[in-house]
A and B are shown apart, each in its own frame.
Chain A
Amino acid sequence: MKVLVCISQTPDTTAKIAFTDGNTQFNKDGVTYIMNPTDEWYALVRAIEVKEQAGGSVTVVNVGTADNDPIIRKALAIGADDAVRIDCDPKDAYEVAAQIAEYAKAEGFDIVFTGKETIDYNGFTVGGMLAELMDLPYISMATHMSLEGNTATIDREIEGGQEKAQVDTPFLISANKGLAEQRIPNMRGIMMSKRKPLKVVAAADIAALSTISSYELPPQRSSVTLVDPENPAELIRLLHEEAKVI
Chain B
Amino acid sequence: MSVLVYIDHAGGKLKKAALEATTYASKVAQKTGGEVTAIALGSIDEGALAALGAYGATKVLKAGESHFDNFDAGAYTKAIAKAVEQTAAQVVIFTHNSSGKSLAPRVSARLKAGMVAGAIDVPNTDGGFSVRKSVFSGKAFADYQIHTDVKVISLNPNSIPVEKGDGSAAVASFDSGVSAADFRIKVLERSTSTDSIPLPEAELVVSAGRGLKGPENWGMIDELAAELNAATACSRPVSDVGWRPHHEHVGQTGITVRPNLYIAIGISGAIQHLAGVNNSKVIVVINKDSEAPFFKAADYGIVGDAFDVVPKLIDAVKAFKAQA
| Interface residues in chain A, defined as those with a beta carbon under 8 Å from any beta carbon in chain B | 11, 13-14, 17, 19, 37-38, 92-94, 97-98, 119-133, 135-141, 143, 153, 156-168, 171, 176-178, 208-218, 221-222, 224-230, 232-233, 235-240, 243, 245-246
Contacts and interface: CB of A to CB of B under 8 A. Distances in A.
A210 B147 contact: yes
A215 B117 contact: no
Given A141-B101, A156-B98, A210-B144, A224 B246 contact: no
Interface residues of B, number: 104
Interface stretch (B25-33, B167-175, B180-188): B180-188
22 contacts: A11-B136, A37-B252, A119-B252, A122-B136, A124-B105, A136-B74, A137-B185, A138-B102, A140-B98, A157-B246, A159-B192, A160-B197, A161-B192, A210-B148, A212-B144, A213-B144, A215-B140, A218-B138, A218-B139, A232-B302, A232-B315, A239-B282
B192 A166 contact: no
B74 A138 contact: yes
B303 interface: yes
A157 B98 contact: yes
Interface stretch (B38-46, B55-63, B214-222, B316-324): B316-324
Interface in B76-119: 77, 96-99, 101-110, 112-118
Label chain B's interface by main secondary structure.
mixed
Contacts of B241: none
Nearest to B116: A210
A165 B186 contact: yes
Interface of B: 10, 15, 71-74, 77, 96-99, 101-110, 112-118, 128, 130, 133-148, 184-193, 196-201, 204, 228, 239, 246-247, 249, 252-254, 256, 260-261, 271-272, 275, 278-279, 281-285, 295-305, 308-309, 312-313, 315-317, 319-320
Contacts of B303: 226, 229
Contact of B261 (A161, A163, A228, A245): A245
Contact of A97 (B109, B140, B300, B315): B109
A140 B74 CA distance: 12
B307 to A, nearest CB: 11
B313 A240 contact: no
Contacts of B130: 213
Contacts of B204: 245-246
B141 A216 contact: yes
